[in-house]
Structure 1
């Protein structure tokens, strides 16, 4: 692990959950995995790992298959959701490959057993991996249909005793309206869980926000497109929105 220097940003948190969408791995493509983008995100994770932060990850599967969209097109919802879970496993394996190519030890842990490619979820074993400074990527959601990867990230973050959830998006925080469509959109510095729910700000789905609120788990929304952004924000600098009580 890289030694930190006195001038290096010191992390605010010791153990965090990083939640990113599957779409974040598409890069400029309209579908699938874009290897240079996967590598770029892996380097962001490596930079934080080198600070000594223990990192969990949950990656969505929307770049390959989204269960809700499949259901909307007539597919049976449970089947569609399981297909979405398998897409998250593919993304997790891609991220694992990129991280280990950078020398970062990584474990993919799935909520659905597939022992040939990943470990099954056992909480105490996952905690031990974190203690050994391995990046742990949780895949296959919660293992149940009708739950999003947002909810899976919040659940695993709570089980792992993470101190915060970092949600990487395409914008640098939470806005009162879409900043890509409205020039007068205003970014929140902080917003409460209840405000996020009442105003439907799109931070995460309602179940995930409620679970974070009940476990006093702050959600930090930031831009994943900003180089070095995650490391900077972990040190308390940069531009982001904090969702808390």
Structure 2
């Protein structure tokens, strides 16, 4: 049995902690800061950190990797196309890897960074996706290295995953993303209901993650660029017709950058 919890880091990062309650082994995803992981391990001295899973090279995702590797000997997994500290296993699109007995498929999702990867576990009952800064709850990552076309293609690959897939992204951006989603689709009842729900959760100190792919398909404007309502407002923002889905996506991403 695998339990997944969030270890908060910095102002809005989450380090995902996977725990195999039978073997007392655990893994962490994107430990930008070693401190929260070390604190958890100190409070659970009978547990062993076996794997450090990395989605991309940004400092708030890899800053704690080398120290955790040195102190625990954990295996470090990360994208082959990026420089990842202390990496033991370099992963490319289509590779498969096992972490805590779970089989993960590697999906290359360029856009936020060029080598960014996501980890997908195709469980028939509860599929899991660790997507770093590519797909956020109600949003997507900024295009620091890639192009709008690349990010749109990456998100389209993730959108094809089963609706019940649990989406574990790396930041607590959901409420601000939903404010933008309300601007894009002010008449979408699911967006409005989700905004109200997440507003209550955050007031109560509750995190907004994980999401599900079906919820993202219903409320995330970056996954809804084929919808007439999203295209219409993107055309209005551009002052001209966006002829392709990539152009609609680019306009919505530009709007979000300035929102």
Q: TM-score range by the shorter chain?
A: 0.3 to 0.5
- Larger RCO, structures 1/2 (Cα 8 Å, 6+ apart): 1
Q: Please, what TM-score do these two structures have when normalized by structure 1?
A: 0.34
Which of the two has higher C-alpha Rg?
A: 2
Larger strand fraction of residues: 2
TM superposition score normalised by structure 2 = 0.32
